[in-house]
């Protein structure tokens, strides 16, 4: 199966859809036309730059370059987790919590998938490491940021109830256990729904990309199944660890609620 090379004219015709939509929104006075155009321009510039960077990485194939790329992805995702929090931990605590959780969950799952399941030669081959790690980090980032935001908001909104439970002798884990479970459910629900409808309601992005690139649909499906289990593992383990670490930040060694650590 031959792939179709898109020209700059083809990209321009596709961009006309965004321009037409911005014009429609401007006529409706929604106030988001500028944001849509800026987002579209940023998307094109960022993806173009990433394309050239990835081409360089694929051609060089050196492990230290792959490591730098992985570190940049981790740092940006950790910063995004911090930015999405309505109530953040004071100082750099939120960033450190997000970075350590992403590193433990995403990198562990990615290494397991590369060494045990996919087994590329060499194991750090950038054409496998970067896409797999990127998909795991992006989904885990969304799950962790959602779970942390929900938990801090729930604890703040129900602080009087939690204080009463602590006064009655409950531990911190018992006092917020129900809220923590709800946060994990909320964070995992989008992943579970996407897994349940994959192949029926929608074709996942990686599978679609491989098919468009000329890969066998059966082979694309096999890779997508592996990716979905890795994403689920990263999200589930990442959220569980993040919420446990967050609880440790919001309660001291005497089981007292320390909301002053939020800002």
Give 84's pLDDT tier (boundaries 50, 70, 90).
confident
pLDDT of res. 149 = 86
User: Can you tell me the mean pLDDT for 85-97?
Assistant: 75
Lowest mean pLDDT among 85-89, 115-119, 132-136, 139-143: 85-89
Q: How far apart are CA 177 and CA 247, in angstroms?
A: 10
**pLDDT tens by residue, 131-178:** 889 889 989 988 888 888 888 888 888 888 888 888 888 888 888 888
* Alpha carbons 188 and 222: distance in angstroms, whole number: 22
What the block records as the tokens of 242 is: 């993040």
CB-neighbour burial class of residue 202 (10 A; exposed 0-12, middle 13-18, buried 19+): exposed
Given a cut of 90, is residue 19 above it in pLDDT?
yes
Phi, psi of 257 (to 5 degrees): -75, 130
Q: Calculate the average pLDDT of the chain.
A: 85
Residue 226: pLDDT above 60? yes
Specify the pLDDT at position 95: 76
Cα dihedral across residues 165, 174, 176, 89: positive or negative: positive
In 3D space, the residue among 118, 121, 100, 111 whose CA is nearest the CA of residue 67 turns out to be: 111
Of residues 201 and 66, which shows the higher confidence score? 66
Q: What is the pLDDT of residue 1?
A: 56
**d(Cα 161, Cα 175) in Å, to the nearest integer?**
8
The dihedrals phi and psi of 201, each to the nearest 5 degrees, come to: -85, -35
- How confident is the model over 171-221, as pLDDT tens digits? 888 888 888 888 888 888 888 988 888 877 777 777 777 777 777 888 888
Is 90 exceeded by the pLDDT of residue 124?
no
């Amino acid at each position: 199966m031959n792939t179709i090379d898109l020209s700059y004219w083809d990209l321009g015709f596709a961009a006309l859809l965004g321009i037409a939509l911005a014009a429609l929104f401007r006529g409706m006075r929604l106030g988001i036309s500028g944001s849509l155009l800026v987002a579209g321009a940023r998307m094109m510039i960022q993806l173009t730059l990433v394309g050239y960077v990835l081409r360089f990485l694929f051609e060089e194939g050196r492990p230290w370059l792959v490591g730098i790329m992985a570190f940049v992805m981790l740092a940006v995702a950790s910063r995004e987790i911090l930015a999405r929090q309505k109530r953040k931990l004071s100082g750099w605590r939120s960033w450190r919590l997000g970075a350590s959780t992403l590193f433990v969950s995403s990198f562990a799952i990615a290494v397991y998938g590369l060494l045990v399941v996919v087994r590329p030669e060499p194991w750090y081959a950038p054409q496998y490491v970067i896409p797999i790690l990127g998909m795991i980090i992006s989904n885990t980032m969304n799950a962790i940021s959602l779970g942390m935001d929900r938990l801090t908001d729930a604890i703040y909104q129900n602080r009087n109830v939690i204080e009463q439970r602590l006064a009655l002798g409950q531990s911190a884990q018992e006092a917020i256990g129900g809220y923590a479970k709800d946060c994990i459910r909320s964070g995992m629900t989008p992943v579970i729904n996407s897994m349940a409808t994959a192949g029926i309601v929608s074709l996942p992005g990686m599978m679609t990309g491989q098919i468009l690139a000329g890969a066998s649909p059966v082979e694309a499906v096999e890779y997508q199944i592996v990716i979905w289990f890795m994403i689920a593992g990263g999200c589930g383990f990442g959220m569980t660890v993040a919420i446990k670490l967050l609880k440790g930040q919001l309660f001291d060694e005497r089981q007292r609620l320390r909301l002053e650590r939020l800002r």
